[in-house]
Amino acid sequence: MPEYLKTKNEYDQALKDAGNKLVVIDFTAAWCGPCKVIGPKFEAMSLEFTDVKFYKVDVDDNDETAEHVGISAMPTFNFYKNSEKIGSVTGANEAKLREKINELK
């Protein structure tokens, strides 16, 4: 199950600890309808793609990180390797999300 990153420090540490492993972060909000739809699918992917690190950031609880990365729509999925952003998918599109994971892992 994806862990929630509650602070900017946790976000920074998660990226650092992952090294060259693909990291996918779901920027979400409790009030976001599309986030509620894609959330269980994102969690299922975390069990399917065991070689990828999955995290969530609630943009209201961790606004410092959301502002740092420039989140303007939810859900937004950012992809990282070696602490560098290498891709993004905006919107609750399971097929696009799955395609991007396969492309980048």
Per the residue annotation, which of 5, 25, 29, 32 is the catalytic one? 32
Helix (H, G, I), strand (E, B) or coil at 49: coil
Q: Tell me which DSSP letter residue 2 carries.
A: P
Per the residue annotation, which of 15, 25, 35, 97 is the catalytic one? 35
Question: Which residue spans within the chain are E strands per DSSP?
Answer: 3-4, 23-28, 53-58, 76-81, 84-90
Look up 35 and say whether it is catalytic.
Answer: yes
Q: What share of the chain is helix, strand, coil (3-state, %, to 5)?
A: 45, 25, 30
User: Which residues are catalytically annotated?
Assistant: 32, 35
